[in-house]
Every structure is written in structure tokens, then in C-alpha cells.
């Protein structure tokens, strides 16, 4: 199995939160195939970077997170051609 870089992990979490229009921590962990401790660190990083926010018990993507996803996809497209 190929390892994901930190940027791909951030993008995976952001996509999950975006697709579900808000998601709980446990669901993010399982959908992103991460362990709980590492996932908590990544989610805390995304919160500090103001890409996601916690409302109640669900995480939601912020405009900065949307921009990250867009730029990450552009980079993937550039590298695949």
C-alpha cells in the first residue's frame, strides 16, 4: 500500500468533511483510514490553519479549506499529465 504525504492526508480529510457537509470525528477517522491519535493531530492542524471548524460535534470546511482542495487538485492534475 502506498503511503500518503501529509498534504494528501489533509486533502482526504477536507474531502470527507465537504462530501458529508459536516462530519463527526469518528466518521472522518474511518473514512480516511487513519488511527485516532494521528487523525486528531491532523484535524487540530487543519483547525489551526483555519481550514475546518468544529460546530457542536461536527467538523465543517471553511473557505480556506476549499481553496486548499482546489489548489491540491490542480497540482495533482499538473503532475498526472
pLDDT of 27 over the 80 cut: yes
Model confidence pLDDT, tens digit, residues 58-74: 999 999 999 999 999 99
C-alpha 23, offset from chain centre: 11
pLDDT of 46 over the 70 cut: yes
Instruction: Give the pLDDT band of residue 75 (cuts 50, 70, 90).
Output: very high
Instruction: Give the pLDDT band of residue 50 (cuts 50, 70, 90).
Output: very high
Predicted confidence at residue 1, as pLDDT, reads 54
Residue 66, number of CB atoms within 10 A of its CB: 13
**Structure-derived torsion over alpha carbons of residues 62, 51, 53, 28, reported in degrees to the nearest 10:** 110
- Tell me what percent of the residues of the chain surpass a pLDDT of 70: 99
**Structure-derived torsion over alpha carbons of residues 14, 19, 20, 26, reported in degrees to the nearest 10:** -40
What structural domains does the chain harbor?
6-80 (1.10.10.10)
- Do 52 and 59 meet the contact criterion of CB atoms below 8 Å apart? yes
20 versus 29: which is more confidently predicted?
29
- Count of residues in the chain: 81
Amino acid at each position: 500500500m502506498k503511503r500518503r504525504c501529509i498534504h494528501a492526508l489533509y486533502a482526504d480529510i477536507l474531502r470527507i468533511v465537504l462530501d458529508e457537509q459536516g462530519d463527526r470525528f469518528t466518521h472522518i477517522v474511518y473514512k480516511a483510514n487513519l488511527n485516532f491519535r494521528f487523525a486528531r493531530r491532523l484535524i487540530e492542524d487543519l483547525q489551526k490553519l483555519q481550514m475546518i471548524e468544529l460546530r457542536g460535534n461536527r467538523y465543517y470546511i471553511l473557505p480556506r479549506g476549499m481553496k486548499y482542495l482546489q489548489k491540491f487538485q490542480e497540482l495533482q492534475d499538473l503532475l498526472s499529465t
